[in-house]
Amino acid sequence: MPSVLQRHPRYALLSAFLLLATFLLLASHQTPMTYIYSAEGADWVKDRVAISERIYQKTLMEREGLIRKFGPTPDKITSFPPDEEPWPPYTLWDFFPAAFNCPHEIERIGALGDGGKWVCGMSRVVTKPDCIIYSVGINHESSFEAELLSRTDNCQVWGYDFSVHEFGPEVQDSPALLRRAHFKPYGLAGTNAHGPEDTNKMYTLQSLMALNGHSHIDILKVDIESWEFETLTTLLRSYMVEDQPLPFGQLQLEIHVWDKKFPEMLKWWETLEDAGLRPFWTEPNLVYANYNRGGSPELAEYSFLNIRGNNIFISNEEFERARKVRHGPRE
């Protein structure tokens, strides 16, 4: 028995047209995204970073849409809308998601509570012979630095904090760890400055690195109570003007947005992005939120990967160079 399409050829043409139109309509609403990794032996890490960057750029477009929705311009957005009608269902942190994918394992280093940080690719650090860690902001808690030291035999940690005189007890009470830990009561700032009688010494990151004879830092942890805005702006722009990659592989940063307006935060955050920093992890500071009941969640921890340059977290080439220095070439 002939089918309907055989008896009515026009139905077949109409069906084919509808199928084609549906396909084209669906295709026009999808963002092309290729997930293809290199063959064995190639730099698969760079492939993963490239895919993550395409995903991140999509997130930036979504951020622009969110600003238009609740703004429609940045100056019209309240960082933490008051609990009153009409109530926009967002907070400042919704505009800055940690949308970048670390190409390696992610794990928390240090305490599960305040003091611990999320790190991308700890396995890359363990095998690096000249591993350099900078930690700015100690405040009597060094579980992060202690775990980095205890899990490696090659990392050196430089700690800075003008408000204390030594590392926290996690490092200070361990002679084995102290052999690879170096503390100075200095602060990190946008310019070098010394107080009366040479107290409250403040240094730029470039100056601290020069004092130590370092050209690169693998992990940089910064917790400087809202001075990150001024300090990082000056630091990043000094490298961006020269079109040079930042001198560190990743950044663990606590952001304090006390009294910051949304346009100011947005401009500063875009400077981080322009310099090559991509957030791969975030969490609110719940200790601060719990102790300030009824207040805004103004503190958040972020971890960033630097996708510019040739550091061990984004390049197998640099990782293999470091491995050969430590173990020698493979047979």
Q: Per-residue pLDDT tens for 165-200? A: 999 999 999 999 999 999 999 999 999 988 776 667
Question: Any residues with CB less than 8 A from the CB of 75 and at least 6 apart, and which?
Answer: 262, 263
Cα–Cα distance measured from residue 107 to residue 117, given in angstroms and rounded to the nearest whole number: 8
- Does this model's pTM top 0.85? My answer is no
228 Cβ partners below 8 Å, 6+ apart? 222, 253, 254, 255, 256
The answer to whether residue 38 scores a pLDDT higher than 60 is no
Residues 44-76 have pLDDT tens digits of 999 999 999 999 999 999 999 999 999 999 999
pLDDT digits (tens, 9 = 90+) for 305-322: 999 999 999 998 877 776
Q: Say if residues 119 and 109 touch (Cβ distance below 8 Å).
A: yes
List the Cα angle 224/225/230 in 5-degree steps. 70
